[in-house]
Chains A and B, each alone.
Chain A
């Protein structure tokens, strides 16, 4: 387990000893702000990165919609932390699909391309550039491969969760994951990906067919 990964870090570790995930979830379901803030701080970064890779510049708006939709149904959720991640990313995926349906009817604008972050803090500049480069490289993948790589390696979902979420068989998910990583490695090795690199959006139509 990578404790640095926001997608795989246990929420209870982010809480700082206040309580386990169940307690945080129960408090959030009762509308306690500290619990809601804990969940948001733990899951907003991977959610935002996933949506950046899937939706581009509209990621923040889509993320807000995902949170608000999830908040309206939070009282119905039952499950552990892994299930909660899958539950949240399922909504994120649906919202991403909706975004792509709308974007497919609109001409591609420059604003849809990922923009390099310009963090003011010194230590985060390189990290932010590396993140932008990684997302740009991910966006060059076909959508189904990109989606599986993101859900597996960013959101931390297992094969069965991704298969249930995407409506594919577990074997298909494994194959897509393997092909996505191989293609990602080839792209990273052959090209010196910089944040200024414009990823192609040709794979968006594939998502609609998925």
Chain B
């Protein structure tokens, strides 16, 4: 029982990050119907930008993180404007390839600049661990969970309680209808790419201090993000978060109680199982087409 609780706690921490990343992918997917296959590399890019700002320019962590999020937002807008809009008329395969290759460029760029090294990110939050009964709660866990909780609260408040959020929901429901009431859908797509990348970058910024930073960081998060999205229901915002948390908990517990090798493939097993048994996931609407 003690192990289960401790593992669940660390699973929730990992899962919070997965949920945040899955949510950021869902934001882009819902807004533009494009799945960003390069999302993992943008997560990596966010972490690398913070690393550069902290280590090379000597900025403190918090301003560096804010600046990195702003930079990634700009990158998202630029990508939507410069690379997605021109191929809008083409087939879906083009979008998939475009997002993959943009991620590839980032990964190649990171590798060219920093070689194949692995960097320890400077620690941010060196608080003493707290003991609850037998449970050990480290500063990192508290920090990550708190930040993710705050971010999610802000996100869902904006989405469901403000005018901007209502407009976003309107465009999600019907782009044509939104255009008729005067929403600039193109600008909306661009800003949603920005929001998506910025939120993904936050995930990278949060995970980097407790794991190592390397150019291949993105691939693991991409698959975890997909698994979380699939589990929660593809396109469901709340589902992505819940899916991420469940995936993190499942990973840690399967890895400990069954076999450590399972940690790497829990995400894949979840994807295959969910799509075969209940393609709509936990909270999604059924969208499969049967011939």
| A and B part of one assembly | no
A residues with a Cβ closer than 8 A to B are: none
B residues with a Cβ closer than 8 A to A are: none
